[in-house]
Amino acid sequence: MPDPLGQILQVLGARIARTNPLTFEIDLGFAIDLGVVTIERARMRLPVSPLGPPELTAFAASISVPSTIEGRGYLEINNREFKGQIDVSLVPLKLRLAAGLGIADIPASKGGPATGVIITLELELPVAIPLAQSGFGIYGFLGLFAMHYARDETGINSLTPALAWLKDRAKGDPTNIDAWKPEINKWGFGLGAILGTMEGGIIFNVKGMVLLELPGPRLLLIMRANLLAVLPDLKDGEAEGTFLCVIDLDFGRGRLTIGMSIDFKITPLIEIQIPVEAYFNLTQGNDWHVYLGTMPGEEVGMTLPGPIHANILQVFDGAGYVMISGHGIPAYKGWMPSMA
């Protein structure tokens, strides 16, 4: 006999913080539909030593009014920070607004006292603004302001940390405040747009942002593009492509880094993954490299992105790379691409 409580409540995770005070945290998933509002998840914290009352530290819910409004939001409260995001669509107007807010108290032990603030905004328009006769239109705008906040690249061991941050931590969205952390004397200002083809952005759409980080200064061009095209010769086939690109110009360190990740597939014909990485030291003319795929391994302690990979008709499976450098290439360790 099914457990009715288990159908509406599920424990997603639990952990113990072995610090003073000793606390126990539990993540709960809900399936509680209150009609208009649906409670999705929550996090509870219980101080164990010394024993204290339970605290609600995270909460997520969604709202749905048919033909009127659809929305979802969450709020997370930590010891010295609270942050949350909300995403609301006004159905009659076909207008979508997403906003995020984070506020952190930075203690003296981390360079404070100071208050960190991050604000993000994304607006999607009901009708595209045409870009002359190009066949493309502007579907929305992006904005970001960060004071005493920085992109969280903690633990990222990559030749292109900004691309790894965008792909793995920000999930392709630079306005994802979960990918930012409080850090004293760090500033960020971002402006961007959502572009797409005029039929509705289904065939091709791109979300891009120009991000200025201080001190440095450091200028980043961040882009995520999606390609979707129905192929008339294949009854159930379609072409899908995701392109991530980050151009990172760090004036303070005098370097330019370009990272791209291309993932394209035509089901069931072909699958291709292409990592591209380029680095130029603007103060030393011979310190540069361009990698179109790489061998597996590391370079100066940094993880290489790996080879180009292609699978054709599920028969041919191959990998390879082209590496050009002005200051030498890591020693070859006997790796050969597999062929099938």
pLDDT band for position 33 (50/70/90)? low
Taking the C-alpha atoms of residue 86 and residue 109, their distance in angstroms, rounded to an integer, is 32
Task: Specify the pLDDT at position 337.
Answer: 46
pLDDT band for position 133 (50/70/90)? confident
Is 162 strand, coil or helix? helix
Task: Specify the pLDDT at position 234.
Answer: 41
Q: What is the pTM of this model?
A: 0.81
Tell me: the pLDDT tens digits for 275-311? Answer: 999 999 998 888 899 999 988 777 766 778 888 999 8
Taking the C-alpha atoms of residue 75 and residue 89, their distance in angstroms, rounded to an integer, is 19
Taking the C-alpha atoms of residue 212 and residue 63, their distance in angstroms, rounded to an integer, is 35
Residue 339: pLDDT over 50: no
Q: Specify the DSSP element, H or E, that contains 161.
A: helix 161-164
Taking the C-alpha atoms of residue 34 and residue 56, their distance in angstroms, rounded to an integer, is 20
- Worst-scoring range by mean pLDDT, 88-97, 148-157, 224-233? 224-233
Task: Specify the pLDDT at position 20.
Answer: 63
* Of the candidates 165, 164, 159, 162, the residue with the CA atom closest to the CA atom of residue 288: 159
User: Residue 52: beta bridge partners?
Assistant: none
Please state, rounded to an integer, the average pLDDT across all residues of the chain: 84
